Amino acid sequence: GAVVSQHPSWVICKSGTSVKIECRSLDFQATTMFWYRQFPKQSLMLMATSNEGSKATYEQGVEKDKFLINHASLTLSTLTVTSAHPEDSSFYICSARDPQGLNTEAFFGQGTRLTVV
């Protein structure tokens, strides 16, 4: 199946700093990627839809100025958590669908564990 790679797999940062997470589709082009957040013992919650060459679409309640998304190429989307606070500590996961694929399943990155201290 298609491969989505996410980097870094974990990061620790100080409060007030910004952290960038990368999501790459390795063997296909993705005009759309999705960013999810998962708190411990909870399910994945969609944060935003990343659109190549245009603005991201954010879900209700997600601050677009805090979670900056850039989708500059067909294989790369980035999520920047700005002015991070301890409550932003979470597991962030990206996904994409191979538009050439026959099925409609999503392929997920391995996730990024963010800890803000």
Partner 1 sequence: SQKIEQNSEALNIQEGKTATLTCNYTNYSPAYLQWYRQDPGRGPVFLLLIRENEKEKRKERLKVTFDTTLKQSLFHITASQPADSATYLCAQAGGTSYGKLTFGQGTILTVHP
The alpha carbon of residue 66 and the mean position of all alpha carbons in its chain are separated, in whole angstroms, by: 13
Only one residue has tokens 């209700």, namely 60
> What is residue 93's three-state secondary structure?
strand
Asked whether position 103 contacts partner 1 by CB under 8 A, the answer is: yes
Asked whether position 37 contacts partner 1 by CB under 8 A, the answer is: no
Asked whether position 100 contacts partner 1 by CB under 8 A, the answer is: no
Q: What tokens appear for 57 in the block? A: 């679409």
The least CB distance from residue 46 to partner 1, in Å, is 6
Site map for partner 1, 40-79, x if CB under 8 A?
--xxxxx--x------------------------------
Asked whether position 96 contacts partner 1 by CB under 8 A, the answer is: yes
Q: What tokens appear for 11 in the block? A: 């990061």
Residue in 90, 49, 83 with CA at minimum distance from that of residue 69: 49
The alpha carbon of residue 68 and the mean position of all alpha carbons in its chain are separated, in whole angstroms, by: 10
Nearer CB in complex with partner 1: 20/113: 113
Residues that bind partner 1 (CB under 8 A): 1, 4, 6, 32-34, 42-46, 49, 91, 93, 95-97, 103-111, 113
